[in-house]
Amino acid sequence: MMSFLRILAFSMCLFLSFLIVHFGVCGEENPHLVNDKSSLITFMSGIVSDPKNALASWKSPSVHVCNWSGIRCSNASDRIIELELSRKSLGGTISPALSNLSFLKILDLSENFFVGHIPKELGYLAQLRQLSLSWNFLKGKIPSEFGSLHRLYYLDLGSNQLEGEIPQSLFCNGSSSLRYIDLSNNSLAGEIPLTNQCMLKELKFFLLWSNHFVGQVPSALSNSTQLKWLDLESNKLSGELPSEIVHNWPQLQFLYLSYNDFVSHDANTNLEPFFASLVNSSNLQELELAGNNLGGKLPHIIGDLPSKLVQLHLEDNLIYGSIPPHIANLVNLTFLNLSSNLLNDSIPPSLCKMGKLERVYLSDNSLSGEIPSALGDIQHLGLLDLSRNKLSGSIPDTFSNLRQLRRLLLYENQLSGKIPPSLGKCVNLEILDLSHNRISGEIPSEVAALSSLKIYFNLSRNNLNGPLPLELSKMDMVLAIDLSMNNLSGTIPPQFGSCIALEYLNVSGNTLEGPLPFSLGQLPYMRALDLSSNKLSGNIPESLQDSSTLRKLNFSFNKFSGHVSNKGAFSSLTIDSFLGNHGLCGSVKGMPSCHKKHGYHLILLLMPVLLFASPLLCILGYPVVLKVKARRRMEIVSRRDLKDDEEETQELKYPRISYRELAEATGWFNASRLIGSGRFGHVYKGVLQDNTRIAVKVLNTTTAGELSRSFRRECQILRKTRHRNLIRIITICSMREFKALVLPLMPNGSLERHLYPSHGLSQRLDLVQLVRICSDVAEGMAYLHHYSPVRVVHCDLKPSNILLDDDMTALVTDFGISKLVKGDPNMSTSDTEFFSSTNGLLCGSVGYIAPEYGMGKHVSTQGDVYSFGVLLLEIVTGRPPTDVLIHEGSSLHEWVKRQYPYKLGSIVEQALRTCSPSARPKHYDKIWEDVILELIELGLLCTQLKPSMRPSMMDIAQEMGKLKEFLSNPSPVSIEEVNPKGSSFSGEDNLVVK
């Protein structure tokens, strides 16, 4: 018995010892873990914003610290070894108390809103293996104490606002364990502190792009023989291309040296040594050397580069000579850019062997000879840019084989012959620009019927003749048509009115004649119309004056006659728009006034009228009576239709307003009440009998199928969503022959009217107002994406669909092509399927449409994020995306990104002139400049090509809210104190690792 008691007592002692070691006396936690928990609580006290409630478990006394979100403990030591809180939208500072987590191996606080300095105490975490603080708002210098992290192999501090030099101790700490280093997208300066005494033999990824580093690529990098990825793009590095260093990287996959000050060998005349150094890098996939002013010829050895090479960027250099045919050995190349160099001679036909090519840029060189017909054999070619060269001959008929071709740019060459009708087989073509050549003949009807064209069709400055093909009316998605400076004749067909997406039309400098079709003024998005230097005659249609979108008009040097008013779209025009039309008179300054007829002329005219008045009244009175009867019948039909739709109206629970009430409120839908036009109808302003000011969106009944879907969709969404930044619906009027939405009238109109003042609006919005508006839009969109009872993808976010109420609060409107997120729990299966499909509708407006939609991808919330990013860039640059597409040949994102980060001065200066309040104190200039830079960066992040790399609308709304709050209470302190330049979101290209 005693033996048993002794054994039992011994066992109890062992168990109590275990409890004391691991949980403390009387069941309390391990004292070491208590210290860890205390450090985390101190860290939590520095968190001032937790919108996702990511730290909820940290505040619960019933949850063990090892079960807190983002925490992982070691099973062996019962100590915290991992703190992972990335993408939690946390805001605040990083507490030095984290240095007490002495067993910590992984610390990841990336993609949040942390501000302030990086605590130097983190350098005391001796066990730390991985440290990621990227995509925050951290500033100051990199702590030299990080040199004590001997076990660190992963370091990511990218995309903050760090400055100063890299501390030498970071790379020279007696340890070569670092494998991944990302310090990109900061403001770091000085030389890269690598010496032969400090070797990083394990280094595989070294990313320093978009900083201010100077000097040469350190020779000590040649010791990093396992390097796979080197990105030094967008710095101020100099010297010869590092051929001797690169030669030691047999595993190299990605090499980015673009936009520095590198030169080639032998005083910038010899590129061969560098390309030779890459021949043995058998895994090389992407090589970027653009924007370095590199000189020399393209060597024959370029064709000996590894066959795995997918992208080659050599644009914006001083490379001369011919394109070596041997380059065709790069059979896996999908992207080739040799534009903006000094290349000459002909294009080698051997390029057709590169069967995987998707994008080819050879523009802005001095290439000559004919375009090789063999290029038509590159089946996957989606973009071919041969513009601004000296190419001659005709356009190859073989281009008809390029069924994937989306953009064909051949402008500013010396091409002749006729346009091959076979180009009409390029059914995916979105841009066709053959301008500034010597092309003759008529415009082939097959090419004019390219309904796939979505951006622009430019045949200007050629020798084309013949009439305008009626098939041009099939271009119902094209933004711009430029046929100017040719020899085109005949009339302008009224079928042009079918080009409903058209914004720019230029037919100047031809021999067109006859009257202008009334349908031109009914195009809902038309912004600019140039008809000058033709032989057009007759009156100028009133529909052009009534257009709510037209801003630029040129009727000069034609044979127009009649009265011209200075109202509507003509209110901002000067006499320069009407020169050379001797038959015109009117109210435009400098134009002769229209003389009234004398009294006796009036008497002479009235006499026959009086003689025949009675018969005329008899003849004309009968149709009037019929019209009254028809109106009565329509009211009877309206009542019957309302009864048929009673069930739907009752479900919507809106006040009933009859068709007659709407008609009377809008002056029977008079053109003078028109305030907007769109794809599915017109919007009229009106006043009800109770003095309620309304906007009536009347849908176009000629597109019955699409109309029904659009109407149902908009009614459903407006009925089920409620938010201060979304337009509310007053009621609907739904009959078989008439469907309308009745909305509150927004007295300040659309955001578009304020961005591009016209028709009496002369004052632009200031930066404070614009940021508030963008914040409102982001809040409304975040609600639709994340909080609404029905999750909605808007699909058409743009300035004209953002309305401003009395106090300039922004409201998102026009849900006609919106989609409900598939599988929404609040919708029936049939409704979900109906709303989640595209139904054949274009998902948005050109310039704002996410690029993935053009590749057949389904709509998603990330498409709206892209549109919001375009909106931000449009506000800052003052340029509509379509204007950039037409004049720059690129998207607004691409155009701004080419100037990011070092060439933004002109954009910022222009934005300060137009968006900053004139009465602001001068010491606010730096603050406003930083805000503009912040908007540019956020816009670029939202418009990244990969949808997965864009931030969510919830994160965007929080970022815009911080900017709005800061600008509401400005102080002469830099914005960096509140929200430093940079971004907390991930991206690609020049914004993240590519």
Residues with active-site annotation: 796
Residue 639 tokens, joined: 């009542």
Alpha-helical regions (H) of 585-645? 599-611, 613-644
**258, 219, 255, 217: which is closest to 238 by C-alpha?**
217
Distance, in Å, from the CA atom of 330 to the CA atom of 355, rounded to the nearest integer, reads 10
Residues 258, 233 contacting (CB under 8 angstroms): yes
Looking at the DSSP bridge assignments, the partners of residue 187 are 163
Distance, in Å, from the CA atom of 882 to the CA atom of 247, rounded to the nearest integer, reads 45
Provide φ and ψ at 50, rounded to 5°.
-140, 70
How many Cβ atoms sit within 10 Å of the Cβ of residue 595? 7
**Residue 689, Cβ density class (10 Å: 0-12 exposed, 13-18 middle, ≥19 buried):** exposed
Residue 671 tokens, joined: 């053109």
Find where tokens 């999750």 sit: 791
> If you ran DSSP here, which 8-state letter would residue 270 be given?
B
Residue 694 tokens, joined: 């309304």
> Helices then strands (H, E): number in the chain?
22, 52
Task: Give the SS3 label for residue 122.
Answer: helix
Give the angle 853-858-864 at the CA atoms, nearest 5°.
65
**407, 469, 400: which is closest to 434 by C-alpha?**
407
Alpha-helical regions (H) of 354-500? 445-448
**310, 249, 309: which is closest to 281 by C-alpha?**
249
Residues 425, 449 contacting (CB under 8 angstroms): no
How many Cβ atoms sit within 10 Å of the Cβ of residue 576? 10
Looking at the DSSP bridge assignments, the partners of residue 694 are 686, 744
Distance, in Å, from the CA atom of 493 to the CA atom of 132, rounded to the nearest integer, reads 63
Residues 931, 963 contacting (CB under 8 angstroms): yes
Residue 673 tokens, joined: 């009440």
- Distances, alpha carbon 611 to alpha carbons 599, 608, 615, in Å: 19, 5, 9
State CA 973 to chain mean position distance.
Answer: 31
Q: What is the DSSP string of 763-805?
A: -PPPHHHHHHHHHHHHHHHHIIIIISSS-EE-S--SGGGEEE-
Beta strands in 80-179 (DSSP E): 80-84, 91-93, 106-108, 113-117, 130-132, 137-140, 154-156, 161-165
Give the angle 465-467-472 at the CA atoms, nearest 5°.
115
Provide φ and ψ at 375, rounded to 5°.
-60, -25
**Residue 106, Cβ density class (10 Å: 0-12 exposed, 13-18 middle, ≥19 buried):** middle
Looking at the DSSP bridge assignments, the partners of residue 458 are 433, 482
Find where tokens 């299966």 sit: 829
Distance, in Å, from the CA atom of 399 to the CA atom of 59, rounded to the nearest integer, reads 66
How many Cβ atoms sit within 10 Å of the Cβ of residue 623? 10
State CA 54 to chain mean position distance.
Answer: 30
- Distances, alpha carbon 691 to alpha carbons 58, 658, 694, 745, in Å: 55, 16, 9, 12
Q: How many residues does the chain have?
A: 994
